[in-house]
Amino acid sequence: MVHAANLLKVPLRLVPVQITKVRNKDRDEEFDIYIGRGTPWGNPFPIGKGGTGDDRATVIEKYRQHFKENVLTDPKMVNAILGLKGTRLGCHCSPLPCHGDIIAEFLNTYEHGNSNEDGE
C-alpha cells in the first residue's frame, strides 16, 4: 500500500488504531478493566445453572439488545464506554463467547462519532 502511494504520488497518512480486546481475568491474562458482574458493564442476564434458564448464546443476545436499548441511547453511558476504547477488557468468559465481545466490537467500529448503531 505504501509502495502504491509512492508510485501515484499520493500523500499517505498512517492513523494509529486502538483495538479493544476481551481477556480472561481468571487465567492470569493481563487486562485493564473488569467488565463482569457488579460493574456497569456486566451482563445482567445470567447463564442458567443445571440445565435451567438461558444458555450462553441467549444471554449474549439479550445483552446485545440491552446494549442497544440502554447503553447506546444514553449519552452518559456512551461517553463512559468510549473511555474503554483501546483497552483490554477482563471477564470470566473469554475465550468463550462473551458479552464483552459486543462492547469490543462497538468500540472497534466506532469512528469519529459514527459506529454501527446496532452495537453489532
**pLDDT tens per residue across span 59-100:** 999 999 999 999 999 999 999 999 999 999 999 988 899 999
Q: Which residue has the cell 465481545?
A: 101
Structural domains in the chain (count): 1
For residue 104, what are the domain limits? Answer: 17-109
Cβ proximity of 118 and 110 under 8 Å: no
Instruction: Say if 52 falls within a structural domain.
Output: yes
In a domain, 7, yes or no: no
Residue 104, in any domain of the structure: yes
Report the percentage of the chain scoring pLDDT > 90.
54
pTM of this structure: 0.77
Whether 5 maps to a domain, the answer reads no
With 80 as the cut, is the pLDDT of residue 1 above it?
no
Contact call for residues 92 and 77 (beta carbons, < 8 A): no
- Asked whether residue 103 is domain-assigned, the answer is yes
Domain membership of residue 12 (yes or no) is: no
Residue 114 confidence (pLDDT)? 57
Query: Is residue 3 situated within a structural domain?
Result: no
More confident position, 51 or 96: 96
Name residues whose C-beta falls within 8 Å of residue 32's C-beta, 6 or more positions apart in sequence: 87, 88, 89, 90
| Cα-only R_g, the chain | 17
Res 111 pLDDT > 60 = yes
Model pLDDT, residue 120: 43
pLDDT of residue 19: 80
**Nearest-angstrom CA–CA distance, 51 and 42:** 22
